[in-house]
Structure 1
Amino acid sequence: MEERYLSVTALTKYIKKKFDVDQHLNHIWLKGEISNFKHHSRGHMYMTIKDDNASIRAVMFQRQNQSLPFTPENGMKILLTGHVSVFEIQGQYQLYIQDMQPDGIGALHLAFEQLKEKLFKEGLFDKVHKKDLPKYPSQIAVLTSPTGAAIRDILTTLERRYPIAHILIIPVLVQGKQATKSIVDGIISANQFSEIDLIIVGRGGGSLEELWCFNEEEVARAIFQSELPVISAVGHETDITISDMVADVRAPTPTAAAELAVPSKLDLIEKIINLDQFIYKHMIHKIEQYEERLSSIEKSYVFKYPERLVEEKEQRLDRAMEHITKHMDNLITSKTVNYHNIEKRFSFVLTTTQIKHKEEKVSQLMNRLHRASTQHIDNKKNAFSKKLSQLDLLNPTRIMSRGYSITYKKDRSIIKSIENLRKKDAIVVRLTDGHAECTIDHIRKEDQNERKK
């Protein structure tokens, strides 16, 4: 009686043999969706293939999957070929996958290439149309899903790099049939805000189907027609969409888009510090230059004896006035011109009335010359007086007359700080009416509070 009963192993082997000899199960074409995907450390891929009403376990060994041009993901719709058999240890039938490709990928790729070629011929990808990004944007519009990881990455990066920028989040759909219109409307709305300087549009990674709204012609033309510069950040670094090609700047990830949109506050701080140091050094250099000029002027002969310069100018003025007077006398005596020579030169005889008329004209010209020369001399005198006043302002004796003095060492170098002094040093104190020779007995440095008092 016991001989009638089969073991579990025997039954399982029998069922497996039935599966293996069935021609309908040895080579099948299957369409479904991936779930419970697992990529084993040994390279094998385990998953479940399902549709709306059923599911089947599946495995794709490393020797078959190592040539796949893509990485399977949960939720991806696929087309596959393989065979069905039984896994004896668990007594479970499963699908052994030989080849696999995303469902509809051929049609999507064809549509992508066709639109890419069309827009390329129209010039939508030309660099000449690319707008420059603002260096320091004050307001940035971000078009993405308000609940996705992309918005968190963008906001975190912007806050870290450039916290003074104001962010306007325009929620849009980034997947599905309604996503195209939502993105187009978002771009149009962002352009209606006069305060916006820049637009970031994008989303996180996904399959080709999930990113397809960014390959739609309506979205591409909306980006191209945007008056504001647009950064496209769609998917991961390896994902390239039509939106990336049309946008003014393409970012490989949403985080990278935020980094491209704004400068780093650390770089700006460093730049400000460098500029501050440059300005400080430049001011010190200019002060030293002016001090050297003042020192050279103070040592010069003219600065020590300004009255010599005045005397020289007075002499030049006297000689100029003598020259003008002599020239005017020569013009007056020239009225005794030889009219006989004039008559020969112009071949006509001057009547007494004509001669008188010429004499009056010469007299008028002389008067005009006298007035002009007098005015010119007065102008020169006024200009000379102003120069003397300016020169007088630079006279150190005038400053010293108010109680100030200049302190020198024996080598004529000016003492500007107590750091230049030592006990027993011999110094000279220059006053308005002479100088005094002194010796340093005591040095005391004042702190900042004492100087304020």
Structure 2
Amino acid sequence: MENFITLSALQGHLRAVIEQYAGRAQWVVAEISECKVNYAGHCYLELVERPDNGKAPVAQARAVIWSSSYKMISGYFRFQTGSDLSAGMKVLVKCTVSYHPVYGLSLVVSDIDPAYTLGETERLRRQTIAQLEEEGVFGMNKDFELPDVLQRIAVISSAKAAGYRDFMQELEASPYRFDVRLFAAVVQGDAAENSIIGALEAVAEQADEFDAAVIIRGGGSTSDLGCFDNYRLCAYIAQLPLPVITGIGHDKDVSVADMVAHTSLKTPTAVAAFLVNRAAETNARLDDLYEETTDRARQTLMMETNRLENAGLLLASRSTGLLHTGMARLEKLKNGVRYVANERLDDERRRCSSFATRLGQHSARRLATAQAWTGYALQRLAAAAEGAAGRQRTRLELLEVSVTAASPRRILSRGYAIVRGVRSAGQVELGQPVEIELRDGVLGANIISKSTHKKNG
């Protein structure tokens, strides 16, 4: 087969065609999806074109800005826009098409129009603002009423950021106490938007624990502010259930995030000063209120003291009058009581005298009767006593006779003997000595035998 060409020959034909039809410089609108500067100072770009819905690119090409022109182009672009070339930025570039047999097609950028980028940035800002207003959330955060004292603060920032350190130093230098909790987030670069939104979501879950949320960042290029114009982040800020205070760190630029926040300040230090000043103003109002309250209390105390003194004088005057009146009434009552008492006393004396007379007469009669009864009773008692005494003498005489008959002496005189200390035959042993009392003396004896009587029955 003879109809063939080499790959390099094909690449050469393509290069010739491209240089013939697209070799001159063209102004091209594209979005930067990647931007890298190598050690030699060359800037390599990845340019894309996306549809309005932001889905997959419809066109893509590599581009390069050689180091010989990159310094001038990037410096002018930064001077005009305040930003460096970065991913996500829409640019209008002047470029020529270059085709290399090995590296393929690329664009060589010789100029960039910063005016287009500025206009595109402004267009996106306006689009974000319009969408937020259309949804009715643009001014939602400003409807919050700030507490008189903002002490419980949720801070969204990078823990290593200089702005965060400045913010904390300003608060710590004040005479007031603030309860600050950091929700760490990336606040610049491609990851900033998602990181800040994540921190806002964490704050929203604990909204009852804070008085306000503060978003701060310190320094950086203007291009780093791009995320603060994005609709998604601004919508989160506008609808956060806490008043939001921003201190993003640029004096000239006002982001959409600043617009939707409750209060916008330029720097983290300015935010801290705002919190301190608000606490100082509240403290001053409290001092004024204290002074006013003290003055009013002092005036009221003086008025009430005067009223009490006047009331005391009036009370003393009235009391004196009432006392005199009372004393007069008591004197009159005393005289009346004395008269009535004397009358009653005379009556009682007369009653007592009459009662004493009647009592004497009655007592005399009762005494005579009692005396008669007493004489009669004494006579009967004497007769009874005489009879009882006679009967007792007779009994005693009989008892004397019985005792005399039972006397041991009388028994001994009849020929009987008494063995002393022995009441039963069973109590003595053979050979035991005993004493035997007779009528006229006592004998000593020994037991040589003994016998006992059998019991009948």
Report TM bin, short chain.
0.3 to 0.5
How high is the TM-score relative to the length of structure 1? 0.46
Higher radius of gyration, 1 or 2 = 2
